[in-house]
Chains A and B, each alone.
Chain A
Amino acid sequence: MADTGFIPKEKWGAFIEGLAAKAQVWVPCLDGDVVIFKPYSKDQTLCFERPANSPPKGVIFPQSDTLFAFNFSKDPENPQKVMVELEEKLDFPKTIIFGSRPCDAKGFLIYDRPYMQTDTPDPYYKGRREQTAIVTMSCQSTYAGCFCTAVGGGPADKEGSDVLITELDNGYFIEAITDKGKEILQQAAAESGAGHEAEALKKQEAVRARVKDPFCANGKPEISKDLFESDEFWEEELSKCVSCGACTYLCPTCYCFNITDETTFEKGERIRSWDGCMYNHFTLEASGHNPRPTKFQRFKNRVGHKFLFYPEKYNGVIACCGCGRCIRFCPMSVDISEIVSKLQKQTGSASNGK
């Protein structure tokens, strides 16, 4: 097992510091009472005990990102004429996301299909993605609202990660999954992983058994398209939603964005920022027309995208990683797993009736 290693607890800090010497390393840091990913520095308080409040998606898909800059200048021959020059901004450093969870890593796989596996790949996402290695910690516990196994994941799922680390009683078991992961394992100067697999596996299995599965559909819940035709169910379920959009910002798989210009007199930038389908303005047209004017219509689209449209487009893959953040942090306690579970039951009873 050349691709595994073991790091004793006392060498853990040095391992992360060593990685930070060669790449920009993003780690979950305690900030007040929340955990968020920040660039590593010695004075941060790292926190691996619970998943970060927000996923590390911003490392590869920044909340606000410059697409290009533009400069205006007057044509010296004709002062009436303003010339424009565009300057592309594509330069991405070597980066490591350290301490993501398997659900967070899976989130990037959901991004990859529309952002990279198309005839018009997104150069900003692709550039950062290729420069970034993902070092994931398997979950030591389950957390309020999380349901990864119900959507095909798992608390020690390797899919999407370059390295998977499992915390043991005396140290950390490290598995290199990809070539990028092997490079990190080499840098770690770890002891042999041999003899630690069994303990790691036992811990992983114990957590897996405790993850809730509200769908009981072997990780592939199915919802009938017909349920998206009616309004009544959705209106009722969403009556408490306040359209704050927190669910979209905290979602590892939500990838919608807005593009805006910011400018001073002679120069400016075109900027891409996170946006969310739960906002009224998201689809509001200049004419005043809005194809999704109510919050329940917007939520219908949000659930539809994750559990019906995305799977339709990409081979049955569900665009939800079950991290449960949208449930944990919703100020009105809207629970997508409960709603999908109800839809699934209606789908089941409709097909049984046929």
Chain B
Amino acid sequence: MASNKNPYIPELVTITNIIEETPNIKSFQVVFNDPERMKTFKFEPGQVGQLSVFGVGESTFVINSPPTRMEYLQFSVMKAGEVTGALHELFPGDQMGLRAPLGNWFPYDMMKGKKILFIGGGIGLAPLRTLILYMLDNRGDYKDITIIYGARTPPDLCYKEDLKEWEARSDVNLILTVDTEYPGWDKRTGFVPTVLNEVAPSPDDTIAITCGPPIMIKFVLQNLAKLNFKDEDIITTLEARMKCGIGICGRCNLGSQYICKDGPVFSLAQLRDFPGVV
């Protein structure tokens, strides 16, 4: 179906593995039913896909495995509505539909030779994960990598295996936080934007990439500006209710741009250009 010109028809994929990340987030590892398609499928870090549960509907998720690791494609799903609820009922071996890749991606070429600061909250680590893993697989191309990541409580932290690995690496500076004190938690507490201020990373030669709940993104953007990060050096990836995924159906627009097609990745400089967004 790779040659299928109809942008609304999903390709069929099969779930090979499901990881319970948190009490309400599961990661689904999928492969195309057509093994040839698995070899020809190309995407860039930050691009998204529409997952279909036939009979329930479609929803948009970032491909959070990196293009450097193509044994499967991974999507993380927080149980929130109808489609995500149905996704959470699935088992390995079950089939889904996938329309991917959609949208733009992180400008990783522009980030080469620079220091990278990731700031994530909750499931917002998903789109950052694909880029973090991509950068770790091309580690020599980037300077210091700092990751500030927070969630409400320790059980709400996603990708615990990755976090363990990143924590152990000497070439990654991982800073974890949870909102308030929690039994057994000996690391930082406090909201992500506050922790960002405490860490106070230098804006010199640094690109900041952030994703999280809208309220977190709002304050992270403000705090990065206070730390003298330039608007062009602040990158975020947005989410909205989406249907078509090809910039027509009208619900995910910011001004004249559509998050599904022209985004989801925007710099703060771009966001400032849209009326009433930041």
Query: Could you tell me which A residues sit within 8 Å of B by CB distance?
Result: 67-68, 70, 72, 80-84, 86, 88, 90, 114-115, 118, 120, 122-124, 225-226, 228-229, 255-261, 263, 268, 270, 272, 275, 277, 282-287, 289, 291, 297, 300-301, 304-305, 308-310, 312-313
Is there contact, CB below 8 Å, between B214 and A289? yes
Distance, CA A301 to CA B275, complexed state (A):
10
Is B155 an interface residue, CB under 8 A from the partner?
no
Q: Which residues of B contact A255 (CB under 8 A)?
A: 248, 250
Residue from B82, B213, B214, B250 with most neighbouring chain A CB atoms (10 Å)? B250
Distance, CA A301 to CA B243, complexed state (A):
18
Known A-B contacts A86-B10, A255-B250, A260-B57; the reply to A123 vs B5 at CB < 8 A is yes
Is B246 an interface residue, CB under 8 A from the partner?
yes
Is there contact, CB below 8 Å, between B9 and A114? no
Query: Could you tell me which B residues sit within 8 Å of A by CB distance?
Result: 5-10, 12, 54-59, 80-84, 93-95, 97, 213-214, 239-241, 243-244, 246-253, 255-256, 275-276
> Of B8, B10, B253, which one neighbours A301 at CB under 8 angstroms?
B253
Distance, CA A80 to CA B91, complexed state (A):
11
Is there contact, CB below 8 Å, between B6 and A286? no
Distance, CA A15 to CA B241, complexed state (A):
48
Q: Which residues of B contact A80 (CB under 8 A)?
A: 93
Known A-B contacts A256-B251, A270-B8; the reply to A82 vs B94 at CB < 8 A is yes
The A-B contact count (CB < 8 A) is 124
Q: What are some 14 contacts across the A-B interface (CB < 8 A)?
A: A67-B8, A67-B9, A84-B95, A114-B248, A118-B247, A225-B275, A259-B8, A259-B57, A261-B57, A272-B8, A286-B82, A286-B83, A301-B253, A309-B256
Q: Which residues of A contact B56 (CB under 8 A)?
A: 261
Q: Which residues of A contact B244 (CB under 8 A)?
A: 257, 259
Is there contact, CB below 8 Å, between B253 and A261? no
> Of A118, A259, A284, A304, which one neighbours B255 at CB under 8 angstroms?
A304
Nearest chain A CB to B64's CB is how many angstroms away? 18
> Of A114, A229, A272, A285, which one neighbours B241 at CB under 8 angstroms?
A285
Nearest chain A CB to B57's CB is how many angstroms away? 5
> Of B81, B94, B248, B276, which one neighbours A229 at CB under 8 angstroms?
B276
> Of B8, B93, B214, B246, which one neighbours A81 at CB under 8 angstroms?
B93
Is there contact, CB below 8 Å, between B95 and A283? no
Is there contact, CB below 8 Å, between A268 and B275? no
Known A-B contacts A261-B56, A286-B81, A289-B214; the reply to A114 vs B247 at CB < 8 A is yes
